Amino acid sequence: MLVMLLLIIVAIDWIAFRFIDYKPVSIGIIVISVLLYALVLNFFRLPRRHFKGARDGRDVVSSVDGTVVALEEVYEDEYLHRDVIQLSVFMTVFNVHANWVPVAGEVRYVKHHSGRFMAANLPKSSTDNERSTIVIRTADGDDILVRQIAGAVARRIVTYVEQGEKVDLDDFIGFIKFGSRVDIFLPLDSEILVKLGDKTWGGETLVARLPQR
pLDDT at 80: 97
pLDDT at 137: 97
Residue 57 region by backbone torsions, left for phi larger than 0, else alpha for psi between -120 and 50, else beta: left
- Please give the helix or strand (H or E) that residue 205 lies within, else none: none
Q: What is the DSSP track for 86-141?
A: EEEEE--TTS--EEE-SS-EEEEEEEEE--B---TTSTTHHHHBSEEEEEEE-TTS
Least confident stretch, 38-47, 49-58, 119-128: 119-128
Is pLDDT at 152 greater than 90 in this prediction?
Answer: no
Pick from 187, 138, 150, 151: which is nearest to 159 by CA?
150
> Which residue in 62, 88, 180, 190 is the catalytic one?
180
Q: Which of 8-17, 32-41, 130-139 shows the highest mean pLDDT?
A: 130-139
Which has the higher per-residue pLDDT, 145 or 43? 145
Per-residue b or e along 89-105, where b marks 16 or more CB atoms closer than 10 Å to that residue's CB: bbbeeebbbbbbbbbbb
Three-class DSSP category at 143: strand
Least confident stretch, 88-97, 98-107, 156-165: 88-97
Per-residue pLDDT, averaged over 77-91, amounts to 96
| Cα–Cα distance, 116 to 65 (Å, whole number) | 23
Is pLDDT at 185 greater than 60 in this prediction?
Answer: yes
pLDDT at 161: 95
What is the separation of C-alpha 72 from the centre of its chain, rounded to a whole number of angstroms?
A: 19
Is pLDDT at 117 greater than 90 in this prediction?
Answer: no
Which of 49-56's residues contact partners 24+ apart within 8 Å by CB, and which partners? 49/100, 49/170, 49/201, 49/202, 49/203, 49/204, 50/170, 50/203, 51/169, 51/170, 51/203, 51/204, 51/206, 52/204, 53/169, 53/206, 55/104, 55/169
Annotated active-site residue 180? The verdict is yes
Confidence of residue 40 (pLDDT cuts 50, 70, 90): low
pLDDT at 105: 96
pLDDT at 20: 76
- Please give the helix or strand (H or E) that residue 22 lies within, else none: none
pLDDT at 213: 76
Average pLDDT, the chain: 85
The pLDDT > 90 percentage for the chain reads: 52
